Amino acid sequence: MPKNLAAAALLMTATFAFAQPKGITAEMIGRTLPLEGAPLAIAGAYKVTSEPAFGAAGLVVYRPAALEAFPKKDTLPVMVWGNGGCAIDSTRYGGFLSTIASHGVLVMSTVPLPSAEKGARRSETADDMRAALDWAAKENTRADSPLKGKIALDKVAIMGQSCGGFLSITMGADPRVKTIGVFNSGIAEAAAVNATQPGAEALAKLHGPVLLINGHEPDFLMGASLATFEKLEKLPTFYGARHNAGHTATVFHPGGGEFANVASNWIKWTFKADKKSGKMFVGKNCELCTNSTWDVKAKGIK
């Protein structure tokens, strides 16, 4: 594993330790798709800036630096991200989140408060995600906000990886949330990984399209991802298992790699009616359907 990916995996391991189930090793948690020869992240049209959320310590924003195109020429959906391990610090996902923001998306996640000591950092929670949505609503009306009147509050996605994926399922019950993305994650099949992992009863509260992506057999939550797909009966749902990607997959590749492309295209197709992006998911000959490195299943995807 390249040094930068190894370091990232160690970070994930450290933050996931509280949730590490019996029989799951640090190597399994940190398993990534080999970087050499892997698809590259594809940035969008917008240059990206990241900044602390105004007046909301503990939240960070990734957004297009220039906002003139919004809302007349383009929409600015919201995506709130849940970190692997339910870690409070999202900075290691900066490349992944920046790629999504570059496609014209307001992306939010959490960072530790400056006063928090490394060993005493709390975990990210669904309440943090709710706070991010509340912030976006207020910022859309704040007089001096560069985002005033530009945020598409009717186009909200919650996405997360591993333990953050548990949070995305929980947050899917929020009426403000129109779609969720669950990466390397899913409902508890039998014994839960930890108290944060929802059971099948949580799926009845979802009300929008669901994206389920995992790292295939090297990903110890592949089974949970597939079980989630199988139990969802009434909602449009896309399931993709990327061969040999592992539990950490590509989120720490430059720009978030292939998984960042999947997340970006899902948001663009769902919220921007981008037909080109939709080709990744729609129909028997969809781009991921015909890609030999993916196993896919879909329900209600039109």
Tens digit of pLDDT for each residue in 204-239? Answer: 999 999 999 999 999 999 999 999 999 999 999 999
| pLDDT above 80 (res 42) | yes
212, β-bridge pairs:
182, 239
In a domain, residue 56? The reply is yes
In a domain, residue 99? The reply is yes
| pLDDT above 80 (res 117) | no
Q: Which CATH number fits the domain that encloses residue 27?
A: 3.40.50.1820
Structure confidence at residue 189 (pLDDT): 84
Which domain range does residue 183 map to? 3-8+23-299
In a domain, residue 14? The reply is no
In a domain, residue 284? The reply is yes
The number of domains in the chain is 1
| Percent of the chain clearing pLDDT 90 (strictly above) | 86
In a domain, residue 274? The reply is yes
| pLDDT above 80 (res 56) | yes
User: Each residue of 245-282: b (16+ CB within 10 Å) or e?
Assistant: bbbbbbbbbebbbbbbbbbbbbbbbbbbebeebbebbb
In a domain, residue 18? The reply is no
